[in-house]
Structure 1
Amino acid sequence: MKKHELHNIKSPGFNLPEGYFDAFEEHLLNEIKLKQTVKRHGFKVPEGYLDAIEDHIMDKISSTNNNPKIIQLFNRKSLLYAASAAACLALLLNSPLLNTKITWDSLDIETVENYIVNENLETYEIASLFSEEDLESVDIVNYTFNEETLETYLLNHLNIENLIIE
């Protein structure tokens, strides 16, 4: 509420239930009658209980075992699991598989050949990888083949059925 409207409050804000004062006298007399008839509350402290409570507690403490049960926060099994997980993570991060950098010099010729054969690359796609300087440096025309080498290559790599003319 705003401060300047406090003097305009007409209701106190508290309400009584309907018919509260109609049965008020009857409820009050019932409570008084109940307190007169019931002398005990139902809860009773034994006589001398509070006088001997300190001795009773000290007897309980001294009769218990002097070596209490110790529950360790870190047992060996959980420590072993945590250490093995940390070791595996350290080995994985330091493994040479993650640290190796692949360069053109580190590739095997067989790997490149297998890639070209298995990927079904066209000659134009392969030629686009070479520059004119690279192609000029390769002297294919002046290379001479041995007859034996040529024959073994043809026998091993060519299918004779494709060469037969019908």
Structure 2
Amino acid sequence: MNKIDKNNSFKVPDGYFDTLSANIMDKISKEETTMSPKEGFKVPEGYFDNLNTQILQKLENSPVETKVIPLKSYKKHFYAVASVAAVLLLFVVIQFNSNTTLSYSDLANSDIEQYFEFNDLELSSYDLAEILPINDMDLNDILENRLDNDNIIDYLDTHIEDFEDLNLHNDD
């Protein structure tokens, strides 16, 4: 508190509030005497005598149209509902206008491979051998990279020392 008192630059003289009301009343009385009669507003004589009847006559002659302003606007809700309805209508129209039917050729090879990888069809290798026509298949149909005869010969030359290990003879 001592810091506040030391830094406070506003000071009031002793006994200021004791004589304040008397000083204000003196100033008011001096202003009333110095005021000239020309100052202020002048009202014609008898103006307030028939003022009520004049106001009532004006109100009866002119019908008052009051404008009703709703407190809560429903425009925002209307626009939101209209936009949702438009989106739903557009969705329904697009669904019914699409007459294209999907076929097996429309599927991508990667989709088919992914289906077989992640779905267990409970087929054994013997079942697959019965289903797949082996006579019409080539080794290149199964492999992703095609094998050329030159590549096969180069591989055999580098990795096999004796050609008898290849077992090229059909001993059925």
TM-score normalised by L of structure 1:
0.40
Q: Larger relative CO (CA 8 A, sep 6+): 1 or 2? A: 2
Structure with higher Rg: it is: 2
